[in-house]
Amino acid sequence: MIMDLPSLLPQPILPAHPDWVELYWKAWELAVQNICHGTPQNGFAEAYLDDAFSENIFQWDTCFIVQFA
């Protein structure tokens, strides 16, 4: 797991659904892999979540992600 996430995040307690727990941790792992960092050249925030599959920023996708943050 990236950056020892289990020690930093709430622990799901779902004994009847171990597959949901696995999904929970995988979602966090994928999120952490998509953290990007701004530069003086691009003017972005120090750290941001890039949800795109390319170098382009998809504003609406990012807005929807922020709704659930």
Total domain count for the chain? 1
Residue 6 falls inside a structural domain = no
Residue 25 falls inside a structural domain = yes
- Cα(7)–Cα(29) distance, integer angstroms: 13
Residue 4 falls inside a structural domain = no
More confident residue, 65 or 34: 34
In which domain, by residue range, is 30 found?
17-67
Residue 36 falls inside a structural domain = yes
Q: Tell me the pLDDT tens digit for each residue of 9-62.
A: 999 999 999 999 999 999 888 888 888 898 999 888 898 877 767 777 778 887
Residue 24 falls inside a structural domain = yes
* Phi and psi, residue 45, nearest 5°: -60, 160
pLDDT score at 10: 94
Q: How confident is the model at residue 2 (pLDDT cuts 50, 70, 90)?
A: low
Residue 7 falls inside a structural domain = no
Q: How confident is the model at residue 1 (pLDDT cuts 50, 70, 90)?
A: very low
Residue 1 falls inside a structural domain = no
- Cα(51)–Cα(36) distance, integer angstroms: 10
Structure-token match 């696995």, residue found: 22
